Structure 1
Amino acid sequence: MKQFIDFIPLLLFFIVFKTDPRVLDIGGHELSFGGIYSATAVLIISSLVVYGAIFISQRKLEKSQWLTLIACLVFGGLTLAFHSETFLKWKAPVVNWLFALAFIGSHFIGDRLLIKRIMGHALSLPEPIWIRLNIAWILFFLFCGAANLFVAFTFQSYWVDFKVFGSLGMTVVFLVAQGIYLSRHLHDTDSTTPKTED
């Protein structure tokens, strides 16, 4: 479920982006609605609301959620400040590559791989499987970043569609593939005993 929370602001961004541009009169103030810049403003506001609600309810945000929120504020803010969508096009590649870097770093820093820190409380797997799983996530994030960058600057009329539905589709396919892969190894391990954190 956590993987799909990030898509709530993206879906709102997509809806506003696809809305025919119009000027709304709100309390005597004229605001433009529809198109890339108002969609970017909605992305920023909805991200603050979604992650703010999570922070209030859980008293914390995960590092990945902080990274996503900060990237949204930085790249979205630059897009609005300079009136250039180029900044927003770099958000998805940069965030995906930073995630990949975090998974890579866990091979050399710390006592456990990042994927094991995330899923180790729910699964008991042999160490070689954890290593393969961590590498799979590295490759996934590298591919997602490259795919977003390629589409954003090559097929500019489709980049918003790909940013929302392409990213969602790639995530679903990868998670299903991961589930299938893990199902082949779970019968060899006892996953009924909860694991404690080190």
Structure 2
Amino acid sequence: MKFLFDFFPILLFFIAYKLEGIFVATAVAIAASFLQVGLYWLKHRRFETSHLVTLVLIAVFGGLTLFLQDEAFIKWKPTVINWLFAAVFIGSQYIGKKTIVERMMGTSLTLPDFVWVRLNASWAIFFVALGFANWYVMANFDTDTWVNFKMFGMM
């Protein structure tokens, strides 16, 4: 159920794009992200960091897309968010005693420190690669291909 909740802004973006185009889809994604954060807060009385980061980025990049009527901004959002996630994973190796992977999974798994560091680095590399993949598709293909890639290739 959490996966569906986390996934619904991109699903609504995809549907709106197919029905109305990139600018309507961008507005729908912004509204859906606000709704997602609000509903999560109503249910849990707290905010989830990933939802807030996504909301800020979709509001900024989506807002620029709508204000300037330039779809390039919304296309950059996945690259920026993935590179930010990579930076957080990399930074967590130098801030605090545990990597972010160990903080998230350490209560479920007991692993040597070097394994946590490798897992953390692997996630950072994954997010860097996703950012580059999005950049490559947005720079070399049309918007329809990019939307399909975002929906099916990045999930």
TM-score, length-normalised on structure 2?
0.93
| Change in 2 beyond 3 A, CA 1:106/1:3 | farther
- Relative to its length, the structure with more strand (as a share) is 1
Match for 2:152 among 165, 169, 173?
165
Q: Aligned letter for 1:167?
A: M
1:60 paired with 2:19, answer no
Contact 1:9 1:43 in 2 (8 A): yes
1:7 paired with 2:13, answer no
Match for 1:114 among 100, 110, 135?
100
Please give the per-residue CA displacement for 1:99-127, whole angstroms capped at 9, x wherever unaligned.
Answer: 00000001111111011111112222221
Q: Aligned letter for 1:75?
A: F
Please give the per-residue CA displacement for 1:131-182, whole angstroms capped at 9, x wherever unaligned.
Answer: 11101100110000000011011112400111111111xxxxxxxxxxxxxx
CA shift for structure 1 position 93: 0.2
Please give the per-residue CA displacement for 1:58-81, whole angstroms capped at 9, x wherever unaligned.
Answer: 122232221111101111111111
Contact 2:36 2:51 in 1 (8 A): no
Structure 1 residue runs of 5 or longer lacking an equivalent are 20-33, 169-198
2:96 aligns to what SS in structure 1?
Answer: coil
Q: Aligned letter for 1:164?
A: M
Q: Tell me which residue corresponds to 1:126.
A: 112
CA shift for structure 1 position 38: 0.7
1:138 paired with 2:124, answer yes
Q: Tell me which residue corresponds to 1:101.
A: 87
1:90 aligns to what SS in structure 2?
Answer: helix
Q: Tell me which residue corresponds to 2:69.
A: 83
How many aligned residue pairs are there?
154
| Change in 2 beyond 3 A, CA 1:120/1:5 | farther
- Distance in 2, matches of 1:14 and 1:55, equals 25
User: Quick one: percent identity of the two aligned structures?
Assistant: 47
1:74 paired with 2:60, answer yes
Contact 1:37 1:79 in 2 (8 A): yes
Please give the per-residue CA displacement for 1:32-64, whole angstroms capped at 9, x wherever unaligned.
Answer: xx1111111110111111121112211222322
Contact 1:54 1:60 in 2 (8 A): yes
Which of 1 and 2 has higher RCO (CA within 8 Å, sep 6+)? 2
TM-score, length-normalised on structure 1?
0.74
Please give the per-residue CA displacement for 1:1-55, whole angstroms capped at 9, x wherever unaligned.
Answer: 6566432111111011111xxxxxxxxxxxxxx1111111110111111121112
